[in-house]
Amino acid sequence: MGKYILKRMAHLIWILLAVSFLTFLLMYLAPGDAAEKKLNAQGISVSQEVLERTRQEMGLDRPFLVQYGDWLLGVLRLDLGSSYKDGFPVGEKLARGLGSTLVLALWSLLLSLAVALPLSLLAALHRDGPLDRILRFLSFVGNSLPGFLLSVLLMYLFCVRLRLLPVLADRSLKGLLLPGLSLAIPLCSRFLRQFRAELLEQLGRSYVTGAVTRGVKARYILFRNVLRNASISILTIVGLSVGSLMGGSVVIETIFRWPGLGKLAMDAIRDRDLPVIQGFVLLTAVIYVGINLLTDIAYHWVDPRVREE
Amino acid sequence: MKRIVALVLAVLLALGLLGCAKTEKPAETPAAEPQILKLAESFAYPSLDVHKEYYGWYTSIYGISETLFRVGDDLSIQPLLAEKAETSEDGLTWTVTLAPKAAFSNGKALTADMVARNLKRLAEVNPRFAYLADFNISAAGDQTLTIVTPQIYPTLLSDLTAPELGIMDLDGTADFDNAPVCTGPFVLKSFQPEGTVEVEKNTAYWNEAVKLDGAIFYYMQDDESKLLAMQSGEIDGYTSVTAAAKDIYAADPSRYVLTQIPATRLQFYVLNETRMDDVLRRAVNLAADPGAIAAYLGGTVSPAVGPFTSAAPYGKVTKPAPDPEAAKAALEGAGYTLNKDGFYERDGQPIQLNICYYAARSLDSIAILLQEQLKAVGIDSILTVQEDPDSTYIATGDFDIALYCMIADKAGDPYYCIDALFRQDSRWAIAGFRSDACEALINELQFETNVTRRAELANQIVQMVIDDNAFGFVGLFNKTTVTRKGVEGIAENCPFDFYGVDANTGIG
Amino acid sequence: MSDQTVLLEVRDLSAGYGGGPVVAGISFTLERGEILSLVGESGCGKSTLLRAIMGTEPDLCLLSGSIRLEGTELAALPPRERLRFVARRCGMVFQSPGASFNPIRSYRSQFIETLKSRGKYDKKDFLPRAEAALLRLGLKEPRRVLDSCPYELSGGMNQRVALALALLLGQELLLADEPTSALDAAIQLQAAAELKSLGETAGIAQIVVTHNLALARYLGGRIGVMYAGRLVELAPAGDLLEEPRHPYTQALLEAIPRLDGTMPRPLAGQLPGEGPALPGCPFFPRCSRAIPACRETPCTLAPWKGEHLLACCRAGEETP
Amino acid sequence: MLLKPRRKRSRKKLRLRMILLLTLACLLALTAVLAPLLTPNDPNATDSGAMNYAPCREYPFGTDRYGRCVCSRVLMGARTSVFCALALVVAAFLLGSILGMLAGYYSGAADTLVMRLADVLLSFPQMVLAIAVAGILGGGMGNAMLALGITSWTLYARLARAQVLSLRKEAYVQAARLSGCSTPSILLRTMLPNMLGPLAVNAAAQLGTTMVGLAGLSFLGIGVREPHAEWGSMISAARGYIQLAPWSVLFPAGAAVLTVMVFNLLGDCLRDWLDPEAAK
């Protein structure tokens, strides 16, 4: 197992290099730069030489490779540089953003799993029954509604009409519910479909018939065998979706004024704040590869057979 | 199996109950409770250092920092930390006398030396105010400050009203980013960088009694969330209200008060003289109808004649009323004929104007409406959106009609906008507007100290630009503010964006 | 064949997958500890018969007839009740060894799981009894086998673990569906020996479905020959193999390649599609001694000589 | 309870369902193609007199904030949304499966190359990519599709590779290879039919996520350019009017939900049709 993890670590380094270089290149090619954005943030147009001086101060006039090399050296010293926009250290901004995004991501993940797992189990057991059809219809609807429409509908219903939940989301349980729900609904509909397919596949396996013949209780068959075996693919599905949770919740974070990574990234991109964008991209790459590593390790732990492959 | 179904139902029930936990309705603030005003802001910055970037705008909105002079609702310059200011005969030396009672929130009196050090620090940390370093600023006694400018600098007074020139106690402030000590009616209670800011009454305020006990400023970028927060009673007001929200508030006058005044943010388009001849430009300006556009935008914009509000002395200019027939006549006079699909063309070449814009400040709506109005007159056009105008069509000049939006009146003086738009070395010179007479007038305006003369010069320059059909001024953004019934005094009548709560703000 | 020694009694059973019957008119009785081998071409319904008895195949429904296990009529029990009753007394072993177990969980946890479901799990003496059962089935290191997963063991070992579980559960009846056909020759003999010893020493009655007549002979007990869903001949192993009476059994025996060089004579024609539904004898189209009467007169299993039962209307006549 | 008899949907009933869904899908495609003929009024014509009108005879779906007929914009929008989403999904499907199959079949260099590329693209936050592409190439539907397409092919690549890896060991593939079939024919004739089932289902499901993705980009101001109609941008533009003119949001959203549902059901049906074992 150790060798395997080392291989994955090398794999991670490679990806981080490729991703950060690609981002730097993309942002460098994109028109407009941080100095311009920073100076006319409030819509006041600025004279040329003030622009040149700020660009020079921020080191934006140095050639592309020098800027990238300088940034890379910084990363090796664990110093992600400071934001062009306000000079604050990027690490600090990301940490603040990461905290709230993780809270929101985990909460919506928990919400969707708590709903998707039992329901997909029921849908799989009552295959093609009335419950199965209703759940499939709901998952279609959930899957095709854009996040920003869903959140406005939810907010309108719960905050204005029923006055049950606050519009100003905070970390309390009540404040967290709506943003969590807006993220969880599309996620949960995707999970519902994928989990149901996995569970059906396991239920069709011969060991289920064998267990029934041996008179094993339904509870044991379901939870200790079917769910356990299906947990491998379920883990992979969840692993893949965490990636979309990290960056993809930009829309929800903007609407619910949730100071998460998504909004931070969006503002950074708008202001061409390269160090923050790079920091964000590195962070999401690390998280993405880290989660894949975790799912692979869990894969090995649950299904030893995979080790030989 | 029954047990599994029961388990599932229990989970769903728990979630449901969680959601519907009955909460008490947001309590009306009875008299005994502290008077806390809750507002939503569209920007929030990671620092409160008054001199850096645009942070001064927000310390001013939060009622923390104050400047020597302030701009009144009628754009006049009024005393604040400073009582009065006079200039010497040669107009090079300014003497400013401070208000005797002015003091910081930590009780220390305000001295001229502290003001001079503030201005020097501003010149160092903020590139946009680096020009202050060329002035000779010194304290002549505790209460008087002298500023000597290398050449005549007529707009110094209005510059002194800029929020970035807020005065801080440089010795008494330990952490400039998180806790600046200033002279304002409110002091900082809690500060989340780029998040919620809470302020409370400055009990040692030097000027007058402060009505409010405190205020909370939520950072909300999304218009819909602001509307819903207002309806759910969680905030008491906000500014830059969208057209959709405006109609909803207008429908319920018993709960909401809408205040709408033309502000200083200008929406305009530039006509590319290198690609369009005089007749075509005139036709376009005759076809464009700022009044109809303002109606479409649900009153969030007032139709503009020139770059400045007609209320200002330097805003007195005229332009021909929109007249589609006259536009058609002009085109046909110049040899354009209507082709089969109803568009004008000349010797086989149909006109097709490229309208460039970026999707902000309703420019996308104006682009669509402009395209319609040109089509009605028989001029075909296509729309091109850019994510960032400054480095695309403005830099390359690759446009026929370029839409842009900027603040035209920074602090009650016309020179900043005229210098930025009409000078021969300005970014917009790429559109081909050349007029030596106009350049001469601008140079004269630069040094003219007499206020009425400055207004006359500004009007002449703008009229020249309008007559040449080089620019098209569409609208001045209205500053639309919504407040809950009884709330007043959050600078809803002031055209500038950098004023908010002050001593007289009240919940009523 | 006194009453309390009869374990299983099947009367005129017919069952099918929703369409017509796959097996029909099956009647036989099985005593405790007795081994019955069912032989016949593939597709003659022998596996279906086993599944009908076990009752776990959802799509398979009992059309008519009765199955009495230990005197209780199974058809009368509600499905859930029937499943628990049958599973307590009778186990099933499948063709692909280990397939009926969860491939990635250790046998130990799956054994414990099955015992707990039966309420027979006693933490203290589980290990010794399990190891004893495995040793008895010829598995040298029972502890290693218990802690490994099905995919880690060979086919033969998996099969023996399945048998050990049946032994551990103390089941009286074992239904084995082609238990040896997936194993290679050497292991087949070993598995057959274990089945035989289960019958003799542990007193476990077995119905073994196989197409390997040698295995049936080795197991002793009685052999039943099935053709197109009907039981055509049933007799003790020795009698049946020495003097097969039914033309189909004779053809079956002749089809086995001999070591003494005689070429096997293949049987012409193929299985009739709706075999069991034919009024007369289903073998009629391929029977060398068929007479017109065979087509109409229903022929059911009737005693011919002592315990040798035969389903052929020309049973009485002497063979030519 | 556990071994619920699997209600065998007879082939005939399955075929009936398939035909029904296919006709529905074609109907949708047809409305998209014939949109210009079906629209009651000009989709881009603004009318200051009829802003935010409730649905009435003249404007079946009411009007939006510029006074444009929502019904004609939804019909025209079908053209952009459905075709762009379809084109994007099909392109990603082809590119992904081919690369995936090659990677799976010739493991080693090809495999690591494709998979590493997929890893890099997947660990790239899609939002950054979309904004960068829009920034460099400018807004518009084409670039929005490119931004989404860059990462969506990886799903098919992974699926195809996994399938090929497992199918490669199958006997009939070895046999085909031994009997001298050329590699492309093996891949296309023997392997592809077996893989089509799951790939098709994913493609249908992807359609939904693609349409939502395009809507997200329009929300961020990068997607389709005004005044062209596209469901995503219509929903995001009319979002503010949900209280004043709910019809200007709900009709495009309803159209999107309906389309996604038809294609998802078609995907499921296709899988059952192609995969005989599942239909049994």
Asked if the structure places residue C230 within a domain, the reply is: yes
**What digits encode the pLDDT tens for the residues A30-88?**
766 777 777 766 666 677 777 788 788 777 778 888 888 888 888 888 788 788 777 78
Q: In the structure encoding, which two tokens stand for residue D205, read together?
A: 């499901």
Interface of A with D in 42-81 (CB under 8 A): none
Query: What is the least distance, in Å, from the CA of C65 to any CA of chain A?
Result: 22
Residue A279 clears pLDDT 80, i.e. is over it: yes
Cβ neighbours of A303 in C, within 8 Å? 104
Cβ neighbours of A215 in C, within 8 Å? 83-84, 87-88, 114, 117-118
Q: What is the pLDDT of residue B146?
A: 92
Q: Which of B253-262, C103-112, C207-216, C296-305 has the lowest mean pLDDT?
A: C296-305
Measure CB to CB from residue D128 to each of A31, A146, A281 and give the nearest one: A281
Q: What is the pLDDT of residue B20?
A: 44
Q: CA-based Rg of chain D, rounded to a whole angstrom? A: 22
Asked if the structure places residue C218 within a domain, the reply is: yes
Cβ neighbours of A224 in C, within 8 Å? 105, 109, 113
Q: Rounded to an integer, what distance in angstroms lies between the CA atom of residue D101 and that of residue D182? A: 15
Is C109's Cβ below 8 Å from some Cβ in A? yes
> If we measure between CA atoms, which residue out of B102, B139, B469 comes closest to residue B319?
B469
Q: Rounded to an integer, what distance in angstroms lies between the CA atom of residue B75 and that of residue B308? A: 12
Contact C58 D1 (CB under 8 A): no
Q: Rounded to an integer, what distance in angstroms lies between the CA atom of residue B145 and that of residue B152? A: 18
Q: Rounded to an integer, what distance in angstroms lies between the CA atom of residue C62 and that of residue C51? A: 10
Contact D5 C56 (CB under 8 A): no
Q: Which helix (H) or strand (E) holds B430?
A: none
Q: Give percent of chain B with pLDDT exceeding 70.
A: 94
CA-nearest residue of chain D to C55?
D3
Q: In the predicted model, what is the mean pLDDT of residues D27-36?
A: 86
Q: Under a CB-based contact definition with an 8 Å cutoff, are residues B237 and B434 in contact?
A: no
Query: Which chains have 3+ CB pairs within 8 A of C?
Result: A, D
Q: What is the pLDDT of residue A64?
A: 81
**What digits encode the pLDDT tens for the residues C281-291?**
777 777 777 77
Mutation test of the interface with chain B: which of A86, A212, A251, choosing the one with the most B Cβ atoms within 10 A?
A: A86
Q: Give percent of chain B with pLDDT exceeding 90.
A: 32
Query: Which chains have 3+ CB pairs within 8 A of B?
Result: A, D
Contacts of B105 (CB under 8 A, 6+ apart): B181, B182, B183, B184, B187, B202, B204, B205
Please tell me the total number of residues recorded for chain A in this structure. Answer: 309
**What digits encode the pLDDT tens for the residues C3-54?**
567 888 888 888 888 777 888 888 888 888 888 898 888 777 888 888 888 8
Query: What is the least distance, in Å, from the CA of C97 to any CA of chain A?
Result: 11
Measure CB to CB from residue A302 to each of C56, C99, C104 and give the nearest one: C104
Contact D139 B296 (CB under 8 A): no
Measure CB to CB from residue A229 to each of C91, C102, C117 and give the nearest one: C102
In chain A, where the domains are located: 19-79, 95-307
Is A146's Cβ below 8 Å from some Cβ in C? no
Cβ neighbours of D6 in A, within 8 Å? 127
Q: Under a CB-based contact definition with an 8 Å cutoff, are residues B116 and B146 in contact?
A: no
Q: What is the pLDDT of residue B108?
A: 92
Is D3's Cβ below 8 Å from some Cβ in A? yes
Asked if the structure places residue C48 within a domain, the reply is: yes
**What digits encode the pLDDT tens for the residues B203-236?**
999 988 999 999 999 998 888 889 989 998 899 9
The per-residue pLDDT of chain B, averaged, comes to: 86
| Range(s) of the domain holding residue C204 | 6-94+173-310
Is B75's Cβ below 8 Å from some Cβ in D? no
Asked if the structure places residue C305 within a domain, the reply is: yes
Contact A224 C105 (CB under 8 A): yes
Q: Which of B137-146, B352-361, C57-66, D248-257 has the lowest mean pLDDT?
A: C57-66
Cβ neighbours of C56 in D, within 8 Å? 3
Confidence bin at D233 (pLDDT 50/70/90): confident
> If we measure between CA atoms, which residue out of C146, C54, D1, B8 comes closest to residue A222?
D1
Measure CB to CB from residue A210 to each of C101, C151, C169 and give the nearest one: C101
Q: Give percent of chain D with pLDDT exceeding 90.
A: 1
**What digits encode the pLDDT tens for the residues D165-212?**
777 777 777 787 777 777 777 777 777 777 777 777 778 778 877 887
Contacts of B231 (CB under 8 A, 6+ apart): A159, A160, B248
Q: What is the pLDDT of residue B31?
A: 54
Asked if the structure places residue C278 within a domain, the reply is: yes
Q: In the structure encoding, which two tokens stand for residue A222, read together?
A: 């379901």
Residue D62 clears pLDDT 70, i.e. is over it: yes
Highest average pLDDT, of B133-147, B380-394, B438-452, C153-167, comes from B133-147
> If we measure between CA atoms, which residue out of B484, B490, B493 comes closest to residue B504?
B490
Residue C295 clears pLDDT 80, i.e. is over it: no
Q: What is the pLDDT of residue A173?
A: 80
Q: What is the pLDDT of residue D102?
A: 85
Instruction: Give me the domains of chain B, ranges plus CATH numbers.
Output: 37-219 (3.40.190.10), 261-478 (3.10.105.10)
Instruction: Count Cα atoms within 13 angstroms, Cβ side, for B4.
Output: 19
Q: How many domains does chain C have?
A: 1
Q: What secondary structure letter does DSSP report for B27?
A: P
SS3 C94: coil
Contact C59 D5 (CB under 8 A): yes
Cβ neighbours of D5 in C, within 8 Å? 58-59
CA A182 from centre of chain: 14
Contact D128 A14 (CB under 8 A): no
Q: Under a CB-based contact definition with an 8 Å cutoff, are residues C92 and C54 in contact?
A: yes
| DSSP-assigned beta bridge partners for residue B96 | B85, B145
* Axis crossing angle, helix A147-155 with helix A173-203, rounded to the nearest 10: 130
Measure CB to CB from residue D138 to each of B242, B292, B386 and give the nearest one: B386
Q: In the predicted model, what is the mean pLDDT of residues B52-61?
A: 92
Measure CB to CB from residue A229 to each of C87, C91, C104 and give the nearest one: C104
CA-nearest residue of chain D to A218?
D2
Give Cα separations from B141 to A130, B145, C192, C290 (angstroms): 89, 8, 117, 138
> If we measure between CA atoms, which residue out of D31, D24, D67, D71 comes closest to residue D250?
D71
Q: What is the pLDDT of residue B218?
A: 92
> If we measure between CA atoms, which residue out of A180, A182, A175 comes closest to residue A104?
A180
Q: Is the dihedral of CA B421, A38, B41, B51 positive or negative?
A: negative
Query: What is the least distance, in Å, from the CA of A83 to any CA of chain B?
Result: 11
Contacts of A307 (CB under 8 A, 6+ apart): A300
Contact A247 D135 (CB under 8 A): no
Q: In the predicted model, what is the mean pLDDT of residues D225-249?
A: 82
What residue type is assigned to position A147 of the chain?
Answer: G
Q: CATH fold of A95-307, please?
A: MetI-like fold (1.10.3720)
Residue B29 clears pLDDT 50, i.e. is over it: no
Confidence bin at A306 (pLDDT 50/70/90): low
> If we measure between CA atoms, which residue out of B96, B112, B118, B124 comes closest to residue B169?
B118
**What digits encode the pLDDT tens for the residues B224-273?**
889 989 998 899 999 888 888 888 999 999 999 999 888 888 999 999 98
Q: In the predicted model, what is the mean pLDDT of residues D40-68?
A: 82
HEC sequence for chain A:
CHHHHHHHHHHHHHHHHHHHHHHHHHHHHCCCCHHHHHHCCCCCCCCHHHHHHHHHHHCCCCCHHHHHHHHHHHHHCCCCCECCCCCCEHHHHHHHHHHHHHHHHHHHHHHHHHHHHHHHHHHHHCCCCHHHHHHHHHHHHHHHCCHHHHHHHHHHHHHHHCCCCCCCCCCCHHHHHHHHHHHHHHHHHHHHHHHHHHHHHHHCCHHHHHHHHCCCCHHHHHHHHHHHHHHHHHHHHHHHHHHHHHHHCHHHHHHCCCCCHHHHHHHHHHCCCHHHHHHHHHHHHHHHHHHHHHHHHHHHHHCHHHHHC
Q: What is the pLDDT of residue B67?
A: 94
Q: Give percent of chain D with pLDDT exceeding 70.
A: 88
Q: What is the pLDDT of residue C320?
A: 46
Q: Under a CB-based contact definition with an 8 Å cutoff, are residues B355 and B370 in contact?
A: yes
Q: In the structure encoding, which two tokens stand for residue C236, read together?
A: 């003790």
Q: In the predicted model, what is the mean pLDDT of residues B67-87?
A: 88
Q: What is the pLDDT of residue B8?
A: 59
**What digits encode the pLDDT tens for the residues A97-114?**
888 888 888 889 999 999
The answer to whether the bond into D246 is cis (omega within 30° of 0) is no
The per-residue pLDDT of chain C, averaged, comes to: 81
Contacts of B156 (CB under 8 A, 6+ apart): B94, B147, B149
Q: Which helix (H) or strand (E) holds D196?
A: helix D192-219
**What digits encode the pLDDT tens for the residues A249-275?**
777 887 888 888 877 887 787 777 878
Instruction: Give me the domains of chain D, ranges plus CATH numbers.
Output: 3-41+53-259+271-279 (1.10.3720.10)
- If one compares A244 and B1, the residue with the highest pLDDT of the two is A244
Q: Is the dihedral of CA C156, C158, C161, C163 positive or negative?
A: negative
Give Cα separations from C216 to B507, C8, C139, C207, D256 (angstroms): 99, 20, 24, 11, 66
- Can you list the alpha helix ranges (DSSP code H) found in B143-211? 156-160
Is B225's Cβ below 8 Å from some Cβ in A? yes
